[in-house]
Structure 1
């Protein structure tokens, strides 16, 4: 499902997340599993915690999107930059203009530290459950691929901006451990 080139991956994954992650928020939030312990250093632990919180906020923002109301897109954009933000803007705008509807929500099943913190960048190994999400065209036809994997295995890169605000700079498919 994921294309290997960086720009295509960002666009495809943003669409995958949007087609698997938007919709009205659940009536009662599902408790999130505890993440695996990150590196023992205090700075790495703090960086991991900030990156994890940013990604969880991103999934929450996508789950809260109302495709008929572009003002609900802004929290998604606030948590991204670069190619990820560009792909999100394009996908959300297209869905809005095509009267696409989404039901269900994505749920993060695990987030693990995927290596050392380098130059204010943290990589997260994420498992995202998209099994309950339905995406429908204006005519009611499903837009979800029959080959969609119910739990997506992702590598998410979060970077701290000059203002100290962490944002998602890359989301791509991931292979290997931890398996989802």
Structure 2
């Protein structure tokens, strides 16, 4: 009887060893990908770079060519994206032309959460040289527009690139000029 148990035990161990050679190696434990920034400084630097890239893309927009809107949209998300799509589509439909360039005068750091990659900055834009004109060349910019505008900008993690930011909200802070 002992010999039979020994034979069964040897057969079981042999089978287990043989089967383990056929099983795939254990999958490596996944390491979490970085989702935040190492510091507030890094988050603010990413926010500033994103906002400046957005203004550069906006300055290159040709309202007669909707394909030029895409680089702007790539830097936006949420309500900022929705608002920009609506505004640029309307300007295009009205056959308006944008002249001049917007300049970033100052970016003030307000808040940054490196873990969630959420950053808030206040931006002073100089739109002195920007005009929107109709087909006859007449300006459609409201009389008395402030040439320097103060905006609160919220940037969040880019869903497709976690260590990059997109502009998710933009709000005028006041009718008072800045900078």
TM-score normalised by structure 1 residue count: 0.71
Q: Which moved more, 1:43-52 or 1:160-169?
A: 160-169
Give the distance between the partners of 2:68 and 2:158, measured in 1 at CA. 23
Match of 2:60 among 44, 47, 64: 64
- Greater radius of gyration (CA): 2
Q: Does 1:154 align with 2:151?
A: yes
Structure 2: 5+ residue runs without aligned partners?
Answer: 1-36
Structure with the largest fraction of strand: 2
Give the distance between the partners of 1:124 and 1:113, measured in 2 at CA. 5
- How many residue pairs are counted as aligned between the two chains? 137
Judge conservation of contact 1:98–1:138 (CA < 8 Å) in 2. Answer: no
Per the alignment, residue 99 of structure 2 pairs with 103
How large is the Cα RMSD of the aligned pairs?
Answer: 1.7
Greater RCO between the two (CA within 8 Å, min separation 6)?
Answer: 1
Q: Which runs of 4+ in 1 moved over 3 A?
A: none
Matches within 5 A, 1:118-157: 119-157=116-154
Match of 2:45 among 41, 44, 49: 49
Structure 1: 5+ residue runs without aligned partners?
Answer: 1-40
